[in-house]
Amino acid sequence: MKAKIFSLLGLLFFSGLAIGLQSCATVQPWQRGDLADPIMIFDENPIDSGINEHYLDYREGSVGGTGAQSGGCGCG
């Protein structure tokens, strides 16, 4: 019974490893331009999205430990 469980776990581990290694690929220099194309951006306005996320982080108080003097109220 234990041998069957270990062989099943080994099979799952090596299957996951094989799938994980297939997703690792080297990007060639001429392909990097395609990946940096503005059409690949998820948001319409990434700067505005970053400002909104920064604002919400401080409003929720979910940001801390950066040395800044702020209480999570968005005032500082």
Q: Is residue 16 part of a domain?
A: yes
Q: Is residue 54 part of a domain?
A: yes
Number of domains in the chain: 1
- Select from 34, 74, 76 the least CA-distant residue to 55: 74
Q: Is residue 67 part of a domain?
A: no
Q: Is residue 35 part of a domain?
A: yes
Work out the average pLDDT over 71-76: 54
Q: Is residue 68 part of a domain?
A: no
Q: Is residue 71 part of a domain?
A: no
**Spatial separation of the C-alpha atoms in residues 44 and 2, rounded to whole Å:** 54
Q: HSE, CB side, 13 Å, CA atoms: give it for residue 53.
A: 7
Q: Tell me which residue range forms the domain holding 13.
A: 1-60
Q: Is residue 25 part of a domain?
A: yes
pLDDT digits (tens, 9 = 90+) for 11-36: 899 888 888 877 777 888 888 888 88
Tokens representing 38 are 């503005």
Q: Is residue 75 part of a domain?
A: no
Q: Indicate whether 65 pLDDT > 60.
A: no
Q: HSE, CB side, 13 Å, CA atoms: give it for residue 35.
A: 7
